[in-house]
A and B are shown apart, each in its own frame.
Chain A
Amino acid sequence: MTMPETIRLQAGGLYAIWFREVKRAIRDRGQLIGGVSRPLLWVLIMGIGLNPYFRGEVYGEVRFVVPYTYLQFIFPAVIALNIMYTSIQSAVSVIWDRQFGFLREVLVSPLPRATILLGKILGGATVALFHGCLVLVLAQFADLSLSIGDIAWGLVLMALLAFGLTSLGVVIAGRIRGFEGFGVFSNAVILPLYFTSSSVFPLDPSLTSAQTAVIYPEWLTFLVRINPMTYAVDALRGAFIHFHQFDPALGPAALLAMAVVFFALALRGFARA
């Protein structure tokens, strides 16, 4: 096998697997409806509804001096949520392939397993990134004025997040036999990760850590701090509203680490399968 042949095989195979994932997602109406309705609910209803209470005065006493509205605050988190759902759900196609025999067709091809897996994850991540962008369309409702640079950096972070989470989905799918189990399990993973990622409430940045500990119980701040999604959401906040609760370098680092570690785990599981 000559060099150009190898490249054609690898590139063509990667493209074919990636494109198939994207095509399947486009033809799946249900997924698209979920991808549109979720951000609408979170941004327009939850966000607008809770907006007045965020910077609010409680019994006349101003406690929180976050220089952003609640809508702006949760907006990046909703992007993360939409990516999270779509990424992890996209791993259903791994189960689907196994169940309906298509996996065999790919496994008898001369493509190495790593290429097959990479194609699948890139495909799922592309769809998830697209669903993240659906949220971005709502930016004007959240009163966000975004520069091109903000959007570009945000997209890079979103792509990394989508890649990492799709890999996580594949890891989960590798341990689960049927579709039903996956639905339950993925919800059991997504929602806790989302709620403990400081997505809907800040670990108050305007207070000292001592004061934070008074307001939130220690177990909750602990959960928030060990959740890698916290730093992913923080990175997206940095890009879209220029606000960080943590060291700005932590976010991209956590995203990169998630992408690498979960892909490695997915590859290990897939190579064994």
Chain B
Amino acid sequence: MTAEPAIRIAGVSKRYGRTEALKDVSFDVGRQELFALLGPNGAGKTTLLHIICTILRPDTGSVIVGGLDALAHPTRSRRDIGVVFQEPSLDDRLTVYENLNFHGLVFGVPAALRHQRIAELLDLVELRDWRDRLVRTLSSGMKRRVEIARALIHTSKILFLDEPTAGLDAQSRERIWTYINQLRSQRDLTVVVTTHYIEEVEGCDRVCVIDHGTILALDTPAALKAAHGQQLLRIVPHDDAAAAIIAEYPDATVRPDGEIVIKSSGDSFAESFLSRHGTHIRRLSVEEPSLESVFLSLTGREIRDQAAGARERTLAFGRQGGEHTR
């Protein structure tokens, strides 16, 4: 039983008309793992998430959630999952409490447990004083916190967060991660999160880099950096030593200010460099490979600020409940 993954996805494909949103995607998410789906807008993250949450049906492939075939038993598998959608999905004409209670009722949580969980979770997300306020008077960061609390009122074993921190200020983003980590320490919870904030992914157990509907890489942040990132040595040599160093490392590049940048082949590289040229340099810094550079080398583009192509726009439209996805 322990070997049973929380989620097993095999050969999932989905197309919207002529655009292929997902192409033969397969992976497992282990129990209690903090699993990140990383990719630019329109990469297929949300589509994939909706398929796992049984809102969308894939064209092909299988989805097993908690050992149960989610495609064959959607209503059963929904009891085990809590979802925080990318777009707000609270009823803002109801109060915070009414929204949470509604959720408890439609998930069949018994009254006593429901009230206890609502109180606990409101404490956790620090909104106890806002319990009886209409949701529309809350800030967007607070709304997101209510949604996280809501997703956990029933006995969810897997929590899906679709861009939980998008559009929030730095402080709210940090808080949300604090809550997530607190929750993971308190209960048996698997967390699947999509994001396009690379720095948030660093703390995850495993990262799945996805673009154009295919998985480009899936591993721990450290392993991804080792495999696809590049450690760099930045050296400022004494004037007379520069020529010797450049001669020794043909792939080194010299910047206009005299700094030499050498691609490192590993941790021992810096040591061996120092043992040979340590006395000839003024300054040396080791630049650790970042996920930013991993993403760049995998997708060939920066994760942020790219203009949305036609395909991206179509999928974004689909996420908003566009006609063709319904």
- Which A residues are within 8 Å of any B CB, using their own CB? 1, 5, 8-9, 12-13, 15-17, 20, 23-24, 27, 98-112, 177, 272-273
- Residues B64-92 near A (CB distance < 8 A): 75-76, 78-79, 81, 83, 85, 87-92
Q: Using known A-B contacts A1-B76, A20-B102, determine if residue A108 contacts B110 with beta carbons closer than 8 Å.
A: no
Asked if B93 and A24 sit within 8 Å, CB to CB, the answer is yes
Whether B321 and A98, one on each chain, are in contact in the complex, defined by CB atoms closer than 8 angstroms, is yes
B324 in contact (CB, < 8 A): no
Closest residue of chain A to B323 (Cβ to Cβ) is A177
Q: Bound complex: CA of A197 vs CA of B166, how far in Å?
A: 53
Q: Are A23 and B94 in contact (CB under 8 A)?
A: yes
Query: Closest residue of chain A to B73, judged by CB?
Result: A110
Interface residues on B, range: 20 to 34
CA distance A13 to B107 in the complex (A): 7
In contact, B89 and A102 (Cβ under 8 angstroms): yes
For A24, list chain B residues within 8 Å (CB).
91, 93-94
Docked complex Cα distance between A102 and B106 (Å): 13
Name 9 interchain pairs, CB-CB below 8 A, sorted by A: A9-B108, A12-B105, A16-B101, A20-B102, A98-B321, A103-B89, A105-B85, A110-B76, A112-B75
Given known contacts A12-B105, A12-B108, A23-B98, A104 and B85 CB-to-CB distance under 8 angstroms:
yes
| Chain B facing A: main interface SS | loop
Please tell me if the beta carbons of A110 and B78 are within 8 angstroms of each other in the complex.
yes
In the complex, the answer to whether B75 meets A111 with C-beta atoms within 8 Å is: yes
Query: CB-CB < 8 A to B91: which residues of A?
Result: 20, 24, 100, 102
Contacts of A110 in B (CB 8 A): 75-76, 78-79, 106-108
CB contact between B107 and one of A9, A20, A101, A103 (< 8 Å): that residue = A9
Find the A residue at minimum CB distance from B91. Answer: A102
CA distance A272 to B57 in the complex (A): 12
A111 and B110 contact, CB distance less than 8 A: no
Let me know if B53 is at the binding interface, CB within 8 A: yes
In the bound complex, CA of A112 to CA of B54 (Å): 12
Q: Which 8 pairs from chain A and chain B are nearest by CB? A: A9-B108, A16-B105, A101-B89, A109-B106, A12-B105, A13-B106, A105-B89, A110-B75
Q: Distance (Å) between the CB of A174 and the closest chain B CB?
A: 10
Bound CA span A103–B325, Å? 14
B residues near A (Cβ < 8 Å) are: 53-55, 75-76, 78-79, 81, 83, 85, 87-94, 98, 101-103, 105-108, 110, 150, 321, 323, 326
Complex CA gap A105/B81 in Å reads 12
Give the Cβ gap from B51 to chain A, nearest Cβ, in Å. 12
Question: Could you tell me the distance between the alpha carbons of A166 and B110 in the complex, rounded to whole angstroms?
Answer: 30
Closest B-chain residue to A273, C-beta based?
Answer: B326
A25, chain B: closest CB distance, angstroms: 10
Chain B residues whose CB sits within 8 angstroms of the CB of A105 once the complex forms: 85, 89-90, 103, 150
**One of B76, B81, B83, B106 near A17 (C-beta < 8 A):** B106
> Which has the most chain B C-beta neighbours within 10 Å: A1, A100, A107, A109?
A109
Given contacts A1-B76, A273-B326, contact A101 B85 (CB under 8 A): yes
A64 to B96, CA, bound (A): 60
User: Which residues from A are CB-within-8-Å of B105?
Assistant: 12-13, 15-16
Q: How far is the CA of A220 from the CA of B76 in the complex (A)?
A: 53
Closest CB of chain A to B194's CB: distance in Å? 15
Additional 9 contacts, C-beta under 8 A, given A8-B110, A13-B108, A105-B90: A5-B108, A12-B106, A20-B94, A20-B102, A27-B93, A101-B89, A103-B321, A110-B76, A272-B326
* Interfacial chain A residues near B93, Cβ < 8 Å: 24, 27
Which residue of chain A lies nearest to B53 when distances are taken between CB atoms in the complex? A108
Q: Separation in Å of the B302 CB from the closest CB of chain A?
A: 29
